[in-house]
Amino acid sequence: MSDLLAIFLLSILAMFNPSLIAAVTVMLLLPSPRRLMFGYLLGAYLTAFTVGLVLVFSLNDSDFESTSRHTIGPAEDIVLGVIAVTIAWVLRTGRDRPLQERRRAKKDAKLRARQEAGKPTESLPLRMLGKGDPKVTFVVGAMLSFPGVSYLAALGRMHNLKPGVAATVLLVAYFCVVELLFLELPLLGYVFAPESTQDRVTRFRNWMARSGRTAAVIGATVIGAWLLIRGVITLL
């Protein structure tokens, strides 16, 4: 497989980042999702682009090989896949409901205690996110966007190509843009079609309220199956 084709396929694989998908889902459910997502995107760009350039220009072949050994391997993929599928099974069968009821009772007791003491009832991160402060999501985006397995592998391919400084910068920028498409597409919708995008976000919120458990089951199943397949293929 050519290095350019491998970089393209790895960028598509990097799009399906569970942390990013979860973060976008949460931000869409909060007030001012456009501002929150824009802050997250800037933080993600800062980390992904800067760290990517530093790695591709500073590491030699042996460094990339050493770094790859310390990333998530097939065994870890399989373990995480089993955990995700197990979570999906627990949610699907409702075996988590007794635990949820106990946690809800404990949470209600804490909530009443905080209300009686005159303290805020929401956590500090939720209060800040609820205000639509992009500074918070900027920090979160920066912290969650360090290169993962796919990005590191793509950086190794870019290093092998040795296309020159300008072309390397463009390749890194391309990868960063593609891996964040699930965040960029809603933002583009807000820019070019704000009314229809807001309508879709409202429908999404209503759907999550009705079918949140089903969505969690499907999401955990898909992620678990993907990790299991990737782990098994890597071992073969």
- Across the chain, mean pLDDT equals 78
pLDDT per position as a tens digit, 123-173? 554 555 555 567 888 888 888 888 887 788 888 888 888 888 899 999 999
Among candidates 173, 181, 166, 165, which has minimal Cα distance to 49? 173
Report whether pLDDT(41) > 90: yes
Rounded to an integer, the average pLDDT of 76-100 is 77
Query: In whole angstroms, what is the distance from residue 58 CA to residue 44 CA?
Result: 21
Report whether pLDDT(100) > 50: yes
pLDDT for 47 equals 93
Q: Provide the domain count of the chain.
A: 1
Q: Under the phi-then-psi rule, with left for phi > 0, alpha for psi from -120 to 50, and beta for the rest, what region is 132?
A: left
Of residues 64 and 175, more confidence is placed in: 175
pLDDT for 171 equals 93
Structural domain including 113 reads: 3-235
pLDDT for 125 equals 47
Rounded to an integer, the average pLDDT of 171-192 is 91
38 Cβ partners below 8 Å, 6+ apart?
134, 187
Rounded to an integer, the average pLDDT of 43-55 is 92
pTM, two decimal places: 0.63
pLDDT for 115 equals 67
